[in-house]
Structure 1
Amino acid sequence: MARVVVIGATGHVGTYLVPRLVEAGHDVVAISRGQAKPYLPNKAWNDVETLAMDRAAMEKDGSFGPAVRALKPDIVIDMICFTLDSARHLTETLIGHVGHFLHTGTIWTHGFSAVVPTPEEAPKRPFGEYGIRKADIEAHLLEEAHRGGFPATIIHPGHIVGPGWAPLNPAGHFNLSAFSTLARGETLVLPNFGLETVHHVHADDVAQMFTGAIANWRTSTGEAFHAVSSGALTLRGYAEAMSRWFGHEPKLEFMPYETWAEDQAPEDAQATWEHIARSPNCSIAKAERLLGYRPRYTSLQAVQESVAWLMEQGRIG
């Protein structure tokens, strides 16, 4: 049994990860700002030590890393690190004091897809603040692992979905109106030919990846892994499948992105561009080989579970 500290424990992935860790026999400390509860109830949380910490405020005075180290963790899982300075502050404090450090990255570190499915080792040319920052953190952690022996593992999720979360929709943004259009059997207009890709993953499969990396720490340290479903979806294929799931034959139209964007809310058009410009389609061969990763959900199954939950909440119809 290991003592595991999870930073950002009450988020979507943490909702599944923390119970998995408890069920595996670990002593779990859950750190959050204390402003959110897990998305789903689980009696395993009764056995978890929960601590409220404001990471941003504590990093300003340099107290966050020492506070985590004072918990005497064997393993630290960082779900919410978004800047290189934040990563350096924590890792420099934990060097020599932790047996395994796992960081949550993103498949956006790749930037444009060049070869698909994209392996982890493909040259990275990220764009956009989020992808660039996460790529910088990955490079730092892998350098520390390979040069100094810091036991870091990076897990790169795709578009995370599951109950309690609005999934990336077939139009490439998060406005639930796209699902409502399909649910009513109406025509959904997609950008271009709908052949760009998105790559979802159920939050529980991301949690599975973390526990697999812990169980195989000798091979996972110093490595990065994609946490995605077994296959990406084209926007067109995604829309057609969801139409049929709602009980309708697909009714789709297509427009060049620039024309399509004129009829969209600016934030939706921008979100779509961010996704279709990257068109992620990532390989899980490395995780299958080294960690025994076997996603329980396809992209469609993960989305459909999310959408069913949203329909129960009356948010799609």
Structure 2
Amino acid sequence: MVIGATGHVGTYLVPRLVRAGYEVVAVSRGERTPYHDAPEWRSVERVTADREAEDAAGTFGARIAALQPDAVIDLICFTPGSARQLVNALRPTRPLLLHCGTIWVHGRTARLPVTEDEPRTAYGEYGTGKAAIEELLHRETLAGGVPSVVLHPGHISGPGWPVITPAGNLDPDVWRRLATGEPVALPALGLGVLHHVHADDVAQAFERALTRPAAIGQSFHVVAEQAMTCRGLAAGVAGWFGREPVLDLVDWPEFEKRAGAEHAGATREHVERSIAASIDRARAVLGYAPRYSSLDALRESVRWLAGHDQLDLDGTGL
């Protein structure tokens, strides 16, 4: 059973599971189709559920448990209360539970690359919520309850949705400026670190975790082979268009003036963390082998945006 089946990761994961021979139940709100159509979806059982509303009513966990899954892959759990309700409902039958976390369970890091064993320094609602869920699931596993595995993706990228730019935000004009040779402002000397991952590589890790008993009770980073600095990403993107990037390395007040408060706030959240995550454990235990570099994942994303009239590159080819 895949909860949040038509989202970024589920779009790739569900067809993978069908090809691997699993019977798949796809749970979603039913408000959108997967980002990419695939023939495998025709053999998937669909269940429509509004998790937020059913969590509030106290019925979601029981509904999932009533379908008697052998394994549950939860891609859209964001609060400890939601996780607790699901775990309580699953405890009598103890299916394997795979949870999608985030590398933002790490906040400001002391050592790089950061490993899964580093103390959790998360801050902000999203990261702290995911860290609390991780702790809850590991306690449950150690107590002999529902066995769980937690996967922590980086900045999920791929065709079909806006992705984090080399400036550490979602401003689409960053792509255009790099494509056309216009100046791009970067704070912190452009040395902020971003760790992207293609959604299909995240799906690969979830698929592998289903058949690795040694993974139970552990957490794993799921990211590209290498993290990159903002200026390194900018250079790579500009290179797609045969250019060198024109970078304005500015202080934070100037960056906010140019980018606007919303985009500057997103950049600050990414740069202050600057997480470069180790995948050594995922390699060793899951056999995880990312196919996409950060730049590969971003190029596929930008090509899709440009091809679907969501990004104007001023006639520049990609």
C-alpha separation between the residues in 2 aligned to 1:294 and 1:115?
Answer: 23
**Alignment partner of 2:197: what SS?**
strand
Range with greater deviation from structure 2 (145-154 or 279-288): 145-154
**Alignment partner of 1:230: what SS?**
coil
* TM-score (norm: length of structure 1): 0.97
1:239 aligns with 2:234: yes
Query: How big is each residue's C-alpha offset from its partner over 1:258-283, in whole Å with a ceiling of 9 and x where there is no partner?
Result: 32112222110110011001111000
2:32 is matched with which residue? 36
Q: Which among 44, 61, 66 is matched to residue 65 of structure 1?
A: 61
Q: Which among 200, 207, 210 is matched to residue 203 of structure 2?
A: 207
Identity %: 48
Gap runs ≥5 in structure 2: 314-318
C-alpha separation between the residues in 2 aligned to 1:98 and 1:296?
Answer: 33
Taking the TM superposition and a 5 Å limit, the aligned residue runs for 1:167-186 are: 167-186=163-182
Q: Which among 245, 251, 256 is matched to residue 246 of structure 2?
A: 251
Gap runs ≥5 in structure 1: none
Give the CA RMSD over aligned residues.
Answer: 0.9
C-alpha separation between the residues in 2 aligned to 1:239 and 1:205?
Answer: 23
**Alignment partner of 1:34: what SS?**
coil
Query: How big is each residue's C-alpha offset from its partner over 1:223-276, in whole Å with a ceiling of 9 and x where there is no partner?
Result: 100110000010010001111112212211101123211222211011001100
2:123 is matched with which residue? 127
Range with greater deviation from structure 2 (199-208 or 142-151): 142-151
**Alignment partner of 1:51: what SS?**
strand
**Alignment partner of 2:306: what SS?**
helix
C-alpha separation between the residues in 2 aligned to 1:165 and 1:38?
Answer: 12
Contact 1:157–1:201, Cα closer than 8 Å, also in 2:
yes
1:302 is matched with which residue? 297
Range with greater deviation from structure 2 (39-48 or 243-252): 243-252
Q: Which among 189, 193, 207 is matched to residue 189 of structure 2?
A: 193
Contact 1:73–1:98, Cα closer than 8 Å, also in 2:
no
**Alignment partner of 2:116: what SS?**
coil
C-alpha separation between the residues in 1 aligned to 2:24 and 2:94?
Answer: 14
Query: How big is each residue's C-alpha offset from its partner over 1:65-116, in whole Å with a ceiling of 9 and x where there is no partner?
Result: 1110111100001110011100000001101313310001000001112111
* TM-score (norm: length of structure 2): 0.96
C-alpha separation between the residues in 1 aligned to 2:167 and 2:273?
Answer: 14
How many residue pairs get aligned? The number is: 312
C-alpha separation between the residues in 2 aligned to 1:56 and 1:192?
Answer: 38
C-alpha separation between the residues in 1 aligned to 2:64 and 2:192?
Answer: 42
1:92 aligns with 2:88: yes
Range with greater deviation from structure 2 (37-46 or 186-195): 186-195
Q: Which among 107, 114, 127 is matched to residue 110 of structure 2?
A: 114
Taking the TM superposition and a 5 Å limit, the aligned residue runs for 1:275-286 are: 275-286=270-281
C-alpha separation between the residues in 1 aligned to 2:217 and 2:128?
Answer: 20
**Alignment partner of 1:154: what SS?**
strand
